[in-house]
Structure 1
Amino acid sequence: MIAAAGGVIWRPAGDGIEIAVVHRERHDDWSLPKGHVDAGEHPVQTACREVVEETGLAVVAGRRGLTTRYEVDGLPKRVDYWLMRCTGGAFVPNSEADELRWLPPADAATLCSYEPDREVIADAARGDLPREVAVLLVRHGKAGSSDRWEGPDEERPLTAAGEAQARRLAEVLALFGPVSVASATPLRCRQTVAPLAGRIGLAVAERREFGEPEFGGDPQEAYDAVLRALGEPGAEVVCSQGGTIPAVLQALGVHGHGVTGLLPPAAKGSVWALGGRPGALVADYYRDFEADPDARA
């Protein structure tokens, strides 16, 4: 399996959007920026890296786009896409792309040389789904067994594995351009998002309502807070707990990931990326941000 990832770069234009497509001189084709997943990368990291390398543009990652599958020289290839809002920068011709054009979605699709790219653009142009992420709802990292912890449970810290999860979260969640970082009161929650807050230069705000009831949390208050955040610009990162996250997601209409009727999963160190509003909600579940097993060496 050849693993690749790319970005659908967009910017507001009049009453709609424009999408960036690039010309690759060595292939003499027009396409969306993409490239192979390198060892140690999660595909969203690849997508953002490739966009920067091919276009020079600054972007903020948003919701997942489509995944395309086809064969190259007899080998199966998978390309995962993310929608990305352009936040600045300027294109300079380079070894990957010698021209970039900003076009309305229909024109961008017409210019593209390959049908899979046209399908990805059509998905990005949908008006019934959000393109951006408003809430990144994080379950705290691994903190060991409460039975073996002798102090107050609120002070139970992350294990070495949990600290590694926190460092990985900091690397990847920064790509979504968070404007705030918050946490429930338990130490393990604060520790999970502290590396991210330090990386992007923000303080960790305390949000008691996102804790479990024994820590003063209230799923209804947490749900109300998520609703407010969904209507505000920028992505808010909130670290919560396993007793609160599924309840909030169910109240939003999110069920089991791909299985209707089951509780939404919330593994330790996982992230739900939410955008839109109830009834037109995008909820992407990231079980973890470990490296893609199909990445090239």
Structure 2
Amino acid sequence: MSGATIRAAGGVVWRRAVSGPSGGGVEVVLVHRPRYDDWSLPKGKLGPGETEVEGAVREVLEETGLHVRVGRPLGETRYDKVIGKTSRPKVVRWWAMQATTGTFTPNREVDEMRWSPLSEAEQLLTRETDRDLLRRFSQGPAPTRTVLLVRHANAGSRSKWRGEDRARPLDECGQAQADELVRLFARFDVARIASADLARCVDTVAPFADALGIAVQEEPVLSEICYPGREEEAAALLRSTDPDRDAVVCSQGDVIPDLITRLMTADDLDGPGPIVAAKGSVWALTLSGDRLVNVEYFSPPRPAECTSST
């Protein structure tokens, strides 16, 4: 084995069956690749500068023609990719994805797409790693919603700011981070955007709000000043988002770790380790109903404007 690890991403794309033997159950998308004459789940290599979730959504669209709503993360699969007389390790990150719209058109990579009940899909899939992934998907809730909890982007030095702290704006790095966060947020089905009532928090989500054409709801309880003593109110705010749509919520560094920990403790969810919250980072909180079932951390974007920032 030689060479760098190949990074890829994909989705277990599902829908509710409306008729047939799986009526009312879940069907998933399988794709047939003529190059390998195999049945697999849609996936592909990441493009330059592309995050894993962006790559997953793009690959699903390219291979199936389907637009999707990103759901809970499903971890990763690993195997060796044979290339000529050698091989390279390949790591694929996966998400559950609910199909929303779109139509399949045969293409160079995929000549057939099939909706299959879970039991049938497991039999059709060629690769054992795909079958293991499908079992992982079937063990968790299919319909979920996501709250994207973001810490405000870079806003310079608090000690050097001469005005009222709540009015401290994003600096050049922070503005670039806010613009790049739009790419991540756009992969989800967001219908609500809320923020602590601070300029740097509102400005972090403003580019995405402008892109959607919706207003940012200012919520003082999400700020470090108002959060102490009102922790349950803040937790209830996150749980009360639209059960059928996703939400973006912007807060501060001293609020986010405590808020996530409280939600995890209340719902008896084991965590991935320390809850960190770098400026511009995002925690994707996956809920089934109002119960937290998964948390996933997205590191902050690092645009060129941030290379000299501390």
Would the TM-score normalized by the shorter structure come out above 0.5? yes
- The question of 1:116 aligning with 2:129 is answered yes
Runs of 4+ with deviation above 4 angstroms: 214-217, 254-257, 277-280
User: For the residues of structure 2 that align with 1:95 and 1:269, how far apart are their CA atoms?
Assistant: 38
User: For the residues of structure 2 that align with 1:217 and 1:62, how far apart are their CA atoms?
Assistant: 32
SS at structure 2 position matched to 1:236:
strand
Per-residue deviation, 1:162 = 1.0
Contact in 1 for aligned 2:264/2:271 (Cα 8 Å) = no
Contact in 1 for aligned 2:69/2:99 (Cα 8 Å) = yes
Q: Taking structure 2 as the reference length, what is the TM-score of the superposition?
A: 0.86
Per-residue deviation, 1:215 = 8.3
- The question of 1:164 aligning with 2:176 is answered yes
* Equivalent residue letter for 1:63: R
Listed as ranges, the gaps of 5+ residues in structure 1 are: 292-297
Aligned counterpart for 2:223 among listed residues 211, 220, 226? 211
SS at structure 1 position matched to 2:114:
strand
- The question of 1:63 aligning with 2:67 is answered no
User: For the residues of structure 2 that align with 1:290 and 1:86, how far apart are their CA atoms?
Assistant: 31
Contact in 1 for aligned 2:271/2:295 (Cα 8 Å) = no
Aligned counterpart for 2:284 among listed residues 252, 273, 289? 273
| Counterpart position of 1:232 | 243
Per-residue deviation, 1:122 = 1.2
SS at structure 2 position matched to 1:179:
strand
Per-residue deviation, 1:167 = 1.2
- The question of 1:243 aligning with 2:247 is answered no
Q: Taking structure 1 as the reference length, what is the TM-score of the superposition?
A: 0.90
| Counterpart position of 2:57 | 48
Aligned counterpart for 2:11 among listed residues 1, 7, 11? 7
Contact in 2 for aligned 1:135/1:273 (Cα 8 Å) = yes
- The question of 1:37 aligning with 2:41 is answered no
| Counterpart position of 1:17 | 26
Contact in 2 for aligned 1:141/1:166 (Cα 8 Å) = yes
Contact in 1 for aligned 2:145/2:243 (Cα 8 Å) = no
Number of residue equivalences: 286
User: For the residues of structure 2 that align with 1:133 and 1:107, how far apart are their CA atoms?
Assistant: 27
Per-residue deviation, 1:62 = 1.4
Contact in 1 for aligned 2:193/2:215 (Cα 8 Å) = yes
- The question of 1:86 aligning with 2:99 is answered yes
Contact in 1 for aligned 2:264/2:292 (Cα 8 Å) = no
Per-residue deviation, 1:185 = 0.5
User: For the residues of structure 1 that align with 2:255 and 2:58, how far apart are their CA atoms?
Assistant: 34
- The question of 1:285 aligning with 2:297 is answered yes
Per-residue deviation, 1:103 = 0.9
User: For the residues of structure 2 that align with 1:215 and 1:195, how far apart are their CA atoms?
Assistant: 25
SS at structure 2 position matched to 1:103:
strand
Per-residue deviation, 1:16 = 2.5
SS at structure 2 position matched to 1:46:
helix
User: For the residues of structure 2 that align with 1:253 and 1:137, how far apart are their CA atoms?
Assistant: 14
Change (3 A) 1:130 1:138: farther
Aligned counterpart for 1:175 among listed residues 152, 173, 187? 187
**Further displaced range: 150-159 or 104-113:** 104-113
Per-residue deviation, 1:288 = 2.8
Per-residue deviation, 1:207 = 1.5
SS at structure 1 position matched to 2:145:
coil
Change (3 A) 1:289 1:80: farther
1:211-252 CA-to-partner distances (Å, cap 9, x unmatched) read: 1125899322111211222x7221011111112112211211
User: For the residues of structure 2 that align with 1:79 and 1:284, how far apart are their CA atoms?
Assistant: 16
User: For the residues of structure 1 that align with 2:192 and 2:139, how far apart are their CA atoms?
Assistant: 28
1:81-125 CA-to-partner distances (Å, cap 9, x unmatched) read: 111110011111111211111111121121111011111111111
SS at structure 2 position matched to 1:146:
coil
Aligned counterpart for 2:272 among listed residues 238, 258, 264? 258
| Counterpart position of 2:232 | 220
User: For the residues of structure 2 that align with 1:227 and 1:42, how far apart are their CA atoms?
Assistant: 27
SS at structure 1 position matched to 2:284:
strand
User: For the residues of structure 2 that align with 1:219 and 1:105, how far apart are their CA atoms?
Assistant: 41
Per-residue deviation, 1:197 = 1.1
**Further displaced range: 214-223 or 241-250:** 214-223
* Equivalent residue letter for 2:191: V
Change (3 A) 1:125 1:279: same
Contact in 2 for aligned 1:43/1:80 (Cα 8 Å) = yes
| Counterpart position of 1:295 | none
Listed as ranges, the gaps of 5+ residues in structure 2 are: 18-22, 304-310
| Counterpart position of 1:294 | none
